[in-house]
Amino acid sequence: MSEPCSTAVVLGASVAGLLAAGVLSDFYSEVTVVERDELSDQPVTRRGVPQGVMPHIPAARGMRIMDELFPGFLDELVVAGTRVWNDGDLSRLCITFNGHQFQRADTIPDPQRLAMYFVHRPFLEWSLRRRVTALPNVKFLDGHDAVRMTSTARCDRLTGVVVARRDSGAETTLSADLVVDATGRGSRTPALLEELGFPRPREDELTVHVTYAGLPVQLPRGTLRELIAFAAPQPSRPRGYAMFAGQDDTYMLAVQTVAGHAAPSDHASLLNCLSELAPPHVLAAARCAQPLADVAQYRFRSNRWRRYDKLASMPDGLIVIGDALCNFNPLYGQGMSVAAIEALVLRDCLSQGRAGLQWRFFGRSAKEIGVAWRAAVSSDLALPQIPGKRPTSVRLTNAYLDRVLAAAEVEPALIQQFLLSLNMIEPPSRLLRPSMVARVIKASRRRTRVSDA
């Protein structure tokens, strides 16, 4: 499908950049991935991905897309030790949202619709990079920064990128028919556009001031049945925790605070904070776990969506993807899956030709991003500690969602539907179907009878 002598440059070798490079390899004869970090041949946390040491569960939709783009990828992860929840057994999940712990003594009605893969972020990224590295027309240029973009004399089309070695500052110009910015939240594309005489994109933002404190740990086999133990921050307690399984018997353990509240800075204070958040058996498991690193902190300031889809003009030959386009509160696990969805959008747009590529990409991506954005922002605004306007639609949505979460204490079908939404397989609006509303009402009555007994 590639055209003769057509070239593409991807800035950033994180998940978004790797997925973009995989897509571009089918349409361009040469693809160069530029990464500021020195890339290791081992699955280690990179400086450019400080959140890599924190718990991650890639949403199921994102994992399915990765397997679509790289056939056999999920099977490779499982062979390498990734654990999978695909039998619907709720005893393997210890999940609390808004103070409501999901029912744990049953199975969801249709387990085949939902498979969750438990793999730590550094291992997932390394596994993807191996697949991309194997593509014959993709090469990596690590240890380099993108300095500026080059363009035609009229600045109406990008012609490439100037990159500089991080160790010496020596510059090289990479020619490109397409430049894809996947450099994450710190993307310099708005400033580079301004240098070329174009406006910066509008930014939609909700400030949350989230801090994570966490570390990887090793558990003795059989210590913890659950693959996930998790409690989200709630209005009465702006703290939460997560303990997620990964390859073999390793877990990622973290405490999360919101609205600028202080987070633990060492192992002892993390366990002390966990004692206020986790069930006794999870706390016991955390206490007997062997730390594999020191406690690290990761700070996240705000949900932010750069609205390239709203710009009136920009040079041709530019795509922005992943966190460089939109990033979300990590609590909801949307980032990698949204990047995967954007990679599919890019593939579909390229398959229809390159005329008007970026406008089609940004427009279609905005529709997909909008669903995840509204879900994340509404959930954040359920916490009174988060400043922001709460229109009637948000208040009604959060009030109903609290009823759903309360009903999930006793109703596996509602747990399934909530998890399908959380994993981006179905939109949150599916929770409003008459059959789901009826289940919420019925479960609420059942909870009332139990509490009155």
pLDDT digits (tens, 9 = 90+) for 282-291: 999 999 999 9
Query: What stretches of 330-388 show up as alpha helix (H) in DSSP?
Result: 335-351, 357-380
Q: What is the mean pLDDT of the segment spanning 291-299? A: 94
Residues of the chain above pLDDT 70, percent: 98
Q: Is the pLDDT of residue 323 over 90?
A: yes
Alpha carbon distance 342, 337 (integer Å): 9
> Is 90-107+205-300 the same fold as 7-64+122-204+304-378?
no
Contact assessment for residue 344 and residue 334, using Cβ atoms and an 8 Å cutoff: no
Q: In the structure, what pLDDT confidence band is assigned to residue 265 with cuts at 50, 70 and 90?
A: very high
- Specify the pLDDT at position 248: 83
CA atoms within 13 A on the CB side of 130: 12
- Specify the pLDDT at position 445: 83
Q: What is the pTM of this model?
A: 0.95
| Bridge partners for 173 per DSSP | 162
Q: What is the pLDDT of residues 105-114, one digit of tens each?
A: 999 999 999 9
- Specify the pLDDT at position 223: 93
CA atoms within 13 A on the CB side of 320: 29
Q: What angle do CA 106, 81, 225 make, to 5 degrees?
A: 30
Q: Is the pLDDT of residue 328 over 70?
A: yes
Q: In the structure, what pLDDT confidence band is assigned to residue 59 with cuts at 50, 70 and 90?
A: very high
Residue 262 burial (10 A CB sphere; 0-12, 13-18, 19+) = exposed
Nearest Cα neighbor of 240 from 371, 401, 383 is 383
Tokens of 160: 């490439």
What is the homologous superfamily of the domain 7-64+122-204+304-378 according to CATH? Answer: FAD/NAD(P)-binding domain (3.50.50.60)
Alpha carbon distance 163, 195 (integer Å): 16
Classify 90-107+205-300 by CATH class. alpha beta
Q: In the structure, what pLDDT confidence band is assigned to residue 188 with cuts at 50, 70 and 90?
A: very high
Q: What is the pLDDT of residues 381-400, one digit of tens each?
A: 999 999 999 999 999 999 99
Q: In the structure, what pLDDT confidence band is assigned to residue 326 with cuts at 50, 70 and 90?
A: very high
Q: Calculate the average pLDDT of the chain.
A: 94
Between the two ends of the chain, the Cα-to-Cα distance in Å is: 67
3 state DSSP class of 353: coil
Q: What is the pLDDT of residues 431-452, one digit of tens each?
A: 999 999 999 999 888 776 655 5
Angle between helices 121-133 and 15-24 (to 10 degrees): 20
- Report CA-CA distances (Å) from 448 to 393, 403, 407, 437: 27, 12, 10, 17
Listed range (30-34, 235-239, 329-333) with the worst mean pLDDT: 329-333
Q: What is the mean pLDDT of the segment spanning 9-21? A: 97
Q: What is the mean pLDDT of the segment spanning 122-141? A: 97
Going from N- to C-terminal start, the domains of the chain cover 7-64+122-204+304-378, 90-107+205-300, 392-452
Q: Is the pLDDT of residue 122 over 90?
A: yes
Nearest Cα neighbor of 57 from 304, 325, 242, 270 is 242
Kindly report the number of other CB atoms within 10 A of residue 263's CB atom. 23
